[in-house]
Amino acid sequence: MKLFTPRRTKLLIIVAIGALLVFLNPKKIFNPIRGLGAVAAYPFEKVFYISSEKTRDMFSFLASIGNLKNDNARLLEENSSLQAKVASLEEQKSENAVLRQQLKLAPSDKYNLAAAMVIGQDPAGSGSWLIIDKGATSGIQTGMSVIVSDGILVGKISEVYPTSAKITLVTDSGSSVNATDLKTGALGILRGAYGLGLVMDMVEQSDTLNVGDSIVTSGLGGLFPKGFLAGRIQQIGTTPDKLFQQAVIVPAVRYSQLEVVFVVKK
């Protein structure tokens, strides 16, 4: 069976010519027919229009959700950044307050001092060393004395890096400081007791030591300037061979709690 017979072909041609004439509407003679077509198509156009509006609104809603998520993520990031800045400013404020307080007590009229913040310490808690935020670029050199407040001895610079330095504390087991009893003038060697404190050793039996006396650097040997306070005598005894006196010294500061120190520049 043929799909396009001569009769069907003629009918299709007539329908196509008629539709074209209605669409082109020469001299508006087909207005009535176009009006009927518009009326017939109106329900379908309305349905299609409403459907398209709902689809567009749905996509707009989904897009707005995506924008809200992006805005929320941005605001959270900005809030975290602001909180970090506030924390940093508060820390700087606290550091500046501590530094100002220490500067008032530091003997800057006697020594050329470089203030430094403590940024690290012996993790083993043995009281052997500290790390400060000043180094070679600030003129720090090995062997320089380190103090706090009004001339309280902390230790000496043992290692120097461009922007930091290591302090070996007087409580380190390898530390050795020439010291004297401020009241009686008794001389001895101040040694670190493995981070637990200090011991004043090699004190002549003829010299006098008293519990509570202040022990300061004697200046002998040239490693430390004279007069830096190390601590006070807590207990007095003798060496095992009974040749010398020996005293247990309580340090004047708790080194693990230091925030600001002063390097005595040469």
Query: What domain count does the chain have?
Result: 2
Do residues 191 and 226 share a domain? yes
Q: How far apart are CA 140 and CA 202, in angstroms?
A: 32
Mean pLDDT of 172-190: 93
**What token pair was written down for 230?**
């190390």
d(CA 234, CA 171): 15
Verify that 172 and 88 share a domain, yes or no: no
Do 120 and 246 sit in the same domain of this protein?
A: yes
Kindly state the tokens that stand for 43. 């329900």
- The tokens describing 216, both together, are 């300061």
Which pLDDT band holds residue 110 (cuts at 50, 70, 90)?
Answer: confident
Of residues 129 and 59, the one with the higher pLDDT is 129
| Local structure of 208: helix, strand or coil | coil
What type of residue sits at position 67?
N
Q: Which two tokens stand for residue 193?
A: 């007791």
Average pLDDT score over the chain: 78
Q: Are 6 and 135 members of one domain?
A: no
Exposed, middle or buried: residue 38 (CB in 10 Å: 0-12, 13-18, 19+)? exposed
For residues 94 and 119, membership in a common domain is answered with: no
Domain with 14, as residue range(s), is: 1-105
Question: Which one of 105, 124, 145 terminates a domain?
Answer: 105
Going by pLDDT thresholds of 50, 70 and 90, the confidence category of residue 180 is very high
Strand, helix or coil for residue 133? coil
| Whether 236 and 257 share a structural domain | yes
First to last CA, the chain: 117
Backbone angles phi, psi at 244, to 5 degrees: -130, 160
pTM attached to this predicted model:
0.61
Cβ-based neighbours of 259, under 8 Å, separated by 6 or more: 95, 98, 117, 118
